Structure 1
């Protein structure tokens, strides 16, 4: 698909000559490059050229007929309008030169066929396909023209995609997305309302609102980026930039994250450190976890619980470890009797 000339001039396909002229004059005056500052002059020049091109085609009867039937390709590859083809056929000339149209009995009149079939007479009651003098070489001409038209359309479509890829984007917009450790453990879905600047149909900037759905997957880490292509702000003469959300982790009152592992600092008394303790924990997904520690816990002692850490995003069925580090709280002072008792007990254990 090429440019939509009717949309460029903001008119319908049934617009008459006077309405077309008024629409052209209004837009041409608005987008004349001399009325725009240097920063947007290039953009205005492009708009002005499109407006002039659209008016040139739609104000010309034959060009408009070709455009309505075959689109911009018809103009580009010199396809003749039905009226021009009929006149050429009536005068014994060729229906088109270097152009093409789809062969269809339902919409193409016999007088158009006469231009392609040189040996068919002017008797409209006779079908060219039944003529004894039918020139089969002209069928090959039609097929060849149709094939070329198809190739041109495909080539144009590819070129448009390549041109879009070559267009520069506006600078991306980055925003932090703060997530709790519970969200990053279990995953969650959010809907965020955003505001961004885009160009309206006339190229003027306008602010629009949009709601985006974001799926936070279990195990995502701080710094993970979620990109919404071309959902950022738009600048004159450029494609809209990308909108990027960067995952950030909110502090948790109990757990800290270390890669795929969870860390828990646990305080115990000297008595608990010497005699053992059963820990009762609530996991990030709400489960109750009882951990019995019977070994003597020295300062910095660590217990590792396999598979109770964070989910691994690339391997959702696997998890890291829960690492519990113990901090032994020593008494600030001991009485003489307590010291004596400790000496007696600890002395025996040596």
Structure 2
């Protein structure tokens, strides 16, 4: 069974010459090897060219309608033994047929010419919306605190009027406002890839906050989790903390604290966008020792036996006792586990 040229061009057998031309224009542009890679595209492009060459000529079309592909290529014999047909042979390559039809071998230039023709008829550009390209923009918590400008590069394809395509690298300066939120989108319209028949696409940069070794973010608040040994939770201590803008913040803790207790330091969080700042939230976790010696246990018990308001003599006795250890009480605060 021979080739069905009508099926190749997706046409009915009643198709006119204008129908054949429209079908070829659409399919040849779609399956041109420069636009559709792979061996299959070359084969399809060749069949489309052959089908068009046969059906656009009234003589070959008429004989094909009667005797099919074998008739026009190899001929048929009538009842008297006379051979008819067999006159058709492919004289042009698929690319030559394409050039003859479109005036160029470049499918992108052909698309551009087609678009311009439509514009002249309709009076408005016939362009589909371009695709958006979303790119994550990683920003440190320090940069979010102070605000900054991020310089980024993006490569895109530029389509020229002659149909050639060239890669272009463009730089963008992205302002990050103080307190900028994760998920904030910065859009650059018309700077993406240029594709025939489409508007240049958009670039969408999405702010992604980098993990921080010290702080966690909760809106405009900063969360700081601190682990302390039991002795400090009972006797008080001070936290020296470096802030995101490189200051040293000293936070005195005078009350007894337990695991899960929270202390709020006002106005030491991130900018909130309204001229103020969030808070620094300190969350405590108390570490207990795994093992205590009998002497350590006795000392702890004796501490609770002291009256709330010890006498001068009692205070001096305690100081003298601790002095015998040269104030070396750090051994109590190491080797603790959760």
User: TM-score scaled by structure 2?
Assistant: 0.56
1:46 is aligned, of 101, 106, 115, to 115
> 3-state DSSP class of the match of 1:230?
coil
Correspondence for 1:233? 193
1:98-155 C-alpha deviation (Å, 9 max, x unpaired):
xxxxxxxxxxxxxxxxxxxxxxxxxxxxxxxxxxxxxxxxxxxxxxxxxxxxxxxxxx
| Structural mapping, 1:169-208, within 5 Å | 169-208=129-168
Structure having the higher Rg: 2
Deviation, structure 1 residue 206:
2.1
1:263 is aligned, of 206, 210, 223, to 223
Distance 1:49 1:245, change over 3 A: closer
| Structural mapping, 1:204-223, within 5 Å | 204-223=164-183
Deviation, structure 1 residue 262:
0.3
Correspondence for 2:298? 340
Cα distance in 2 for partners of 1:341, 1:46 equals: 92
Deviation, structure 1 residue 287:
1.2
1:249 is aligned, of 209, 214, 219, to 209
Cα distance in 1 for partners of 2:168, 2:294 equals: 77
Correspondence for 2:235? 275
> 3-state DSSP class of the match of 1:345?
helix
> 3-state DSSP class of the match of 1:338?
helix
Cα distance in 1 for partners of 2:103, 2:258 equals: 79
Deviation, structure 1 residue 306:
1.0
Whether contact under 8 Å (2:109, 2:163) holds in the other structure is no
Whether contact under 8 Å (2:236, 2:253) holds in the other structure is yes
Distance 1:336 1:198, change over 3 A: same
Correspondence for 1:32? 102
1:5-27 C-alpha deviation (Å, 9 max, x unpaired):
xxxxxxxxxxxxxxxxxxxxxxx
Whether contact under 8 Å (1:31, 1:45) holds in the other structure is no
Cα distance in 2 for partners of 1:43, 1:201 equals: 7
Whether contact under 8 Å (2:267, 2:276) holds in the other structure is yes
Deviation, structure 1 residue 35:
5.2
The answer to whether residue 269 in structure 2 is matched with residue 309 in structure 1 is yes
Whether contact under 8 Å (2:106, 2:163) holds in the other structure is no
Cα distance in 1 for partners of 2:210, 2:292 equals: 41
Deviation, structure 1 residue 34:
8.6
Cα distance in 2 for partners of 1:312, 1:253 equals: 22
Long gaps (5+) in structure 2: 1-97, 309-338
Long gaps (5+) in structure 1: 1-27, 54-75, 77-158
The answer to whether residue 280 in structure 2 is matched with residue 322 in structure 1 is yes
Cα distance in 2 for partners of 1:208, 1:219 equals: 33
Whether contact under 8 Å (1:31, 1:47) holds in the other structure is no
> 3-state DSSP class of the match of 1:211?
strand
How many residues end up aligned between the 2 structures? 211
Deviation, structure 1 residue 192:
1.7
Deviation, structure 1 residue 245:
0.7
Whether contact under 8 Å (1:36, 1:44) holds in the other structure is no
Whether contact under 8 Å (1:302, 1:326) holds in the other structure is yes
